[in-house]
């Protein structure tokens, strides 16, 4: 197949080209993101390959369909940027990579926890300036602390296993109870109880209408004062303005995020020479107890290899007329 790969970085070229060495699809790499203005680049391509911030809405899909595209391949798990109903109406198949880096994401969440707790990022900068004072670097033992895990799929379960290794107590919330987490001693509770009793809350749930702004002003009223809040899942799980107020009041003692609800205008790009216009994001960066990384939790060798292998396999399945287990369809309206 002839594949237009959008939002291409150097690492995308490397891993996708390696995975494609046996199948020999024609991969053409484009640096711009896909949207209704750049869709013309895909003229004549049967397949487009996109990432988390590409805009695959109805107008873009209509343009792609008019120029011959019949397959949209996501090289990520999330698909909230795709209008699945429009794709179905236009006869465009959509596939994704459902899981690729549960260990990488869980381990990154733990890295945020450790860095925030022991102020490693602040200590690093001090030592570089020959400042060896310990004032302001006081942390706490993780042993016997309570970690609340919201979403206990693959990533949440792995986080639970790691934190259990530190000697933490585990509380959990999920619509579906994971018996493996319960076997670790994890206790499923409702969100208000998890909020009230957790020293650390880590979010690992998908972004759906029910979880949008899960952490909002009302939730922050319920949380234990001084809580550490970690989000390596989806940015819009958190109402950022409400969290800023929580940080200002001291209700939230620490914040570690790898995602941000308006990140599509920021992340994956070098903006070091520009003035960032997002005042809310800029306010977040002023807090000494906030640690932000730019959507890199997934970014491991193993993850990029898995993403590339699954992406190429998805394309091969559709090319050869085989059912693809990773196809996603619009849910029928109720």
> How far apart (Å, rounded) are the C-alpha atoms in residues 323 and 314?
9
Q: What's the whole-model pTM score?
A: 0.92
Instruction: Give me the active site residues, please.
Output: 234, 263, 295
Digit-by-digit pLDDT tens for the chain (334 residues) are: 899 999 999 999 999 999 999 888 999 999 999 999 999 999 999 999 999 999 999 999 999 999 999 999 999 988 889 999 999 999 999 999 988 889 999 999 999 999 999 999 999 999 999 999 999 999 999 999 999 999 999 999 999 999 999 999 999 999 999 999 999 999 999 999 999 999 999 999 988 899 999 999 999 999 999 999 999 999 999 999 999 999 999 999 999 999 999 998 899 999 999 999 999 999 999 999 999 999 999 999 999 999 999 999 999 999 898 999 999 998 765 4
| Cβ 21 vs Cβ 309: under 8 Å | no
Q: What are residue 200's DSSP bridge partners?
A: 147, 228
- The secondary structure element, H or E, covering residue 187 is strand 187-188
CA distance 15 to 20: 9
Query: For the chain, how many residues are written?
Result: 334
Question: What are the φ/ψ torsions at residue 152 (nearest 5 degrees)?
Answer: -120, 45
CB 210 within 8 A of CB 236: no
């Amino acid at each position: 197949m002839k594949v237009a790969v959008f939002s291409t970085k150097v690492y995308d070229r490397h891993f996708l080209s390696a995975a494609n060495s046996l199948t020999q699809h024609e991969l053409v790499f484009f640096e711009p993101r896909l949207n209704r203005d750049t869709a013309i680049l895909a003229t004549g391509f049967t397949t487009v390959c996109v990432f988390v911030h590409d805009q695959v809405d109805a107008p873009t899909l209509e343009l792609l369909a008019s120029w011959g595209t019949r397959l949209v391949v996501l090289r990520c798990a999330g698909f909230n940027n795709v209008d699945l109903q429009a794709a179905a109406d236009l006869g465009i198949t959509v596939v994704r990579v459902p899981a690729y880096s549960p260990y990488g994401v869980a381990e990154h969440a733990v890295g945020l926890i450790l860095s925030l707790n022991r102020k490693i990022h602040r200590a690093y900068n001090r030592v570089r300036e020959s400042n060896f004072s310990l004032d302001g670097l006081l942390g706490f033992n993780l042993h016997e602390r309570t970690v609340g895990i919201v979403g206990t799929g693959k990533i949440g379960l792995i986080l639970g296993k790691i934190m259990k290794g530190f000697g933490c107590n585990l509380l959990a919330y999920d619509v579906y109870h994971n018996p493996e987490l319960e076997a670790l001693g994890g206790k499923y509770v409702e969100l208000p109880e998890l909020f009230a009793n957790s020293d650390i809350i880590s979010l690992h749930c998908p972004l759906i209408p029910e979880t949008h702004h899960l952490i909002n002003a009302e939730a922050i009223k319920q949380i234990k004062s001084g809580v550490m809040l970690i989000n390596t899942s989806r940015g819009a799980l958190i109402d950022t303005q409400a969290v800023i107020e929580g940080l200002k009041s001291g209700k939230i003692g620490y914040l570690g995020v790898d995602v941000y609800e308006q990140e599509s205008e920021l992340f994956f790009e070098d903006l070091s020479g520009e003035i960032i216009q997002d005042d809310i994001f800029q306010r977040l960066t002023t807090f000494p107890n906030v640690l932000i990384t730019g959507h890199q939790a997934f970014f491991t060798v193993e993850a990029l290899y898995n993403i590339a292998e699954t992406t190429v396999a998805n394309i091969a399945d559709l090319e050869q007329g085989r059912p693809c287990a990773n196809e996603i369809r619009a849910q029928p309206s109720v």
